[in-house]
Structure 1
């Protein structure tokens, strides 16, 4: 992998761009009222929620402070297949550390793992397993290149990320992933088994066996999935059919970006986690990253170029897509589609399963202690160097 060029990179948004964002926010005019009286959440997030986030972003959020936190670990740009791939590299100090690839989805970013890359690479307890954390931005996100052609899929991204890990000297590695990142992990676990040896995910759409009687949890999940498809899937329909239209409309529109992506952090996360101040920071940081890097439009290609939501489960049980390596799954109760053990084990070599009653779709941000615990437990159980 000597042909892969890797150069240091520092996140440094010019002051003129930070000031411009502030001006655009200050010049923004909100509607001033909800769409109809007593709209609640039937028409989208509550108006009061949007107004509160707008105030926080305009008057209280400190990008420079967050940028300093982001730069606490080194960043790099790798040139692979004429693509610039941005990644954070949190190396452990221990020789026995396990290489770990962490892959986000939409509307996430590399920052989605900001609460776990430190504890995983530098555990407070020296007896715990440590990991060399490699956290890339998917093509089309943040400082990674946009996908170079029509038809670029997450299978292509998996190939590039496998090259990235090998170029860093990690001929064997583990992956943790959720959302669209799960499909990168599934590809690696199905077709790159010489290098990707172990997988943990917190999103794994899977069909239950036909004719089985549902458990109470499975009944709750089925009802939530039905509600999600009926009342919340409009964003995906837009992006998988007309990404240019909505992408151009949102590109230089901070409040538009905030609502488009922030809605998911409102709807797909544990409601108890949303009450904490950190959740506002999480939403505003993600919106800031999308705005500063002009990635809201190319990020939508995940939806346009890949499997549709209604085919997720069927895709996972196809023989060519089954995960051949050992893998683990953490089922978070507040996720959009938390799967059960007997469903997920139909999609591959499931060796670790954990149900958690807290956490949702953004598990690494919502329950970082739980995710680090489960990653370590799976690695302790299954990781082999040979």
Structure 2
């Protein structure tokens, strides 16, 4: 732990965070915790659910019962735990907060350091399928010159970045921690960054706040400093972009409930979700069905995310006890429902090379002209398929985008 003299201070508006030494980390859940999880799942008290075959009232009971039954009786956490532990993992204390991260060195002549950030209700494990191709492209049909040193942290209060004992961990504060992780802890002078959902917001904050160190940023959810997504209207989209506005309107009913509760009463909800794994599964896994582009690949969400992956996602939240602290990012990022103002008045707000990957089933989309005014837009790719979880849904597309955008940048 850090002593008082190493606590965070502020200089020129940018926190200078002290840190400890990174230590190797292995996921090792006790048998008692797994037994307790299965017992709770088997004893779930199910509510009535009349007239909800179309999910108009929320997650439909039989769908969730099937998934919870699989989680209790068939899901093999030990096999998933073993796979997770094939990746080198570490924990480090930054500013008094434990940060868990995967760090895989690239196999190539000059790997580009990159930090990849997840969102909610993602985990670091959503990036698992891109790590191998990015770090060892030659083993996956690529050019060794495109290799990356990949860093995938768990957001503070998410997964194994616990316990979260402080407050104020909005996207900007997390970006400050990521900068310390990449530069002071891992020793990179310059690095690339990419992310989805909250990870996009964090990545944008890195490009906005640390242009001297950030090579470029790659974003999927277009939440950038100085742009209020909820102020964008259909009139802001060009005629050939109207499909984007239609998607925003279609997705809006699926995102207002959790966003409102998380901003205003995350702790109240945390009591229920920390006590009931079935409730936790309903709250986070139903959003895989609502937000994933599974119709592009099959007839069911399980054609996109198999049951083991979904149960592993829920297990990471449950076994780490992190669901409550993970939801606080919504409250801590916004003040009076407004994001933090830009750190500076330079334009564009993100002055480093920026790429947007526009996935057709993303939840919030931005007109290209608005994006171009907010950042140094150098790549804009409308993807053929994909939803809110690109690295888990379409890892090959994500790998190609990252390779092509960051190729030759230093």
Same fold (TM over 0.5): yes
| Matched-pair contact (CA < 8 Å) for 1:200–1:375 | yes
**SS at the partner of 2:54?**
coil
Shift of 1:193: 1.2
Residues 28, 344 of structure 1: CA spacing in aligned structure 2 closer, same or farther, 3 A cutoff?
A: same
Question: 2: CA distance between counterparts of 1:49 and 1:193?
Answer: 46
Residue 243 (structure 1) aligns with: 266
| More displaced stretch, 306-315 vs 63-72 | 306-315
- Tell whether 2:192 aligns with 1:174: yes
Residue 285 (structure 2) aligns with: 262
**SS at the partner of 2:120?**
coil
Question: 1: CA distance between counterparts of 2:381 and 2:92?
Answer: 35
Which one of the candidate residues 150, 173, 177 is aligned to 2:167? 150
**SS at the partner of 1:305?**
helix
Q: Cα RMSD (Å) of the superposition?
A: 2.7
**SS at the partner of 1:114?**
helix
Q: Deviations over 1:275-334 (max 9, x none)?
A: 416433332111100000000000011111113898679979985782110011100001
Question: 1: CA distance between counterparts of 2:130 and 2:99?
Answer: 21
Question: 1: CA distance between counterparts of 2:131 and 2:303?
Answer: 21
- Tell whether 2:90 aligns with 1:76: yes
Q: Deviations over 1:20-63 (max 9, x none)?
A: 111111111323x5x22354121113333212211221222111
Map 1:198-347 onto structure 2 (within 5 A). 198-205=216-223, 214-216=238-240, 218-230=241-253, 232-272=255-295, 273=297, 274-276=301-303, 278-307=305-334, 322-347=349-374
**SS at the partner of 1:233?**
helix
| More displaced stretch, 360-369 vs 113-122 | 113-122
- Tell whether 2:28 aligns with 1:12: yes
Question: 2: CA distance between counterparts of 1:143 and 1:11?
Answer: 8
| Matched-pair contact (CA < 8 Å) for 2:247–2:361 | no
Shift of 1:184: 1.2
Which one of the candidate residues 186, 200, 205 is aligned to 1:187? 205
| More displaced stretch, 289-298 vs 148-157 | 148-157
| More displaced stretch, 161-170 vs 203-212 | 203-212
Which one of the candidate residues 66, 77, 88 is aligned to 1:63? 77
Query: Aligned pairs, how many?
Result: 380
Question: 1: CA distance between counterparts of 2:18 and 2:96?
Answer: 15
Name structure 1 gaps, 5 residues minimum.
none
Name structure 2 gaps, 5 residues minimum.
1-16
Residue 196 (structure 1) aligns with: 214
| Matched-pair contact (CA < 8 Å) for 1:104–1:138 | yes
**SS at the partner of 1:383?**
coil
Map 1:100-179 onto structure 2 (within 5 A). 100-123=114-137, 124-125=140-141, 127-128=143-144, 129-166=146-183, 167-179=185-197
Shift of 1:211: 5.2
Residues 333, 314 of structure 1: CA spacing in aligned structure 2 closer, same or farther, 3 A cutoff?
A: farther
Shift of 1:14: 1.0
| Matched-pair contact (CA < 8 Å) for 1:335–1:359 | yes
- Tell whether 2:409 aligns with 1:383: yes
| More displaced stretch, 233-242 vs 336-345 | 336-345
Q: Deviations over 1:170-224 (max 9, x none)?
A: 11110111111112111110111121111111111466699556335x3233233
Map 1:359-378 onto structure 2 (within 5 A). 359-378=386-405
Residue 41 (structure 2) aligns with: 25
Question: 2: CA distance between counterparts of 1:151 and 1:212?
Answer: 33
Question: 1: CA distance between counterparts of 2:293 and 2:168?
Answer: 34
| More displaced stretch, 175-184 vs 119-128 | 119-128
Residues 277, 379 of structure 1: CA spacing in aligned structure 2 closer, same or farther, 3 A cutoff?
A: closer
